Amino acid sequence: MAQTIWIHKLADTKKAEADGMEYICEHLFQALTNRGKLTKEKGWNTVPNANSKDGATYRALFCDSCGKNYTHGHVRMAKEPVLV
């Protein structure tokens, strides 16, 4: 069974830090909330067409772990507010 990857929407001001991607995985979200900024780390994986089960497509940035485990249709939106 594939792993679900939870993604969070970035504020427009943070998109430049994420190579223009609009969403980040849970692990990068946690790092961002702890540090206050995104820093390029080992395993910086841009996925311009990450898909969810319902067919929605997201421009996402994944950490190395999520990048390795990503399979088509296993992305879900987190229900948290947009990061400023």
**79 or 25: which carries more pLDDT confidence?**
25
**How confident is the model at residue 78, as a pLDDT?**
86
Tokens of 40: 């390029």
Cβ burial of 10 (10 Å; 0-12, 13-18, 19+) is buried
The pLDDT, as a whole number, for residue 40 is 76
The predicted-structure confidence for 5-41, as pLDDT tens digits, reads as follows 999 999 888 888 888 999 999 999 998 888 888 877 6
Q: What is the pTM of this model?
A: 0.85
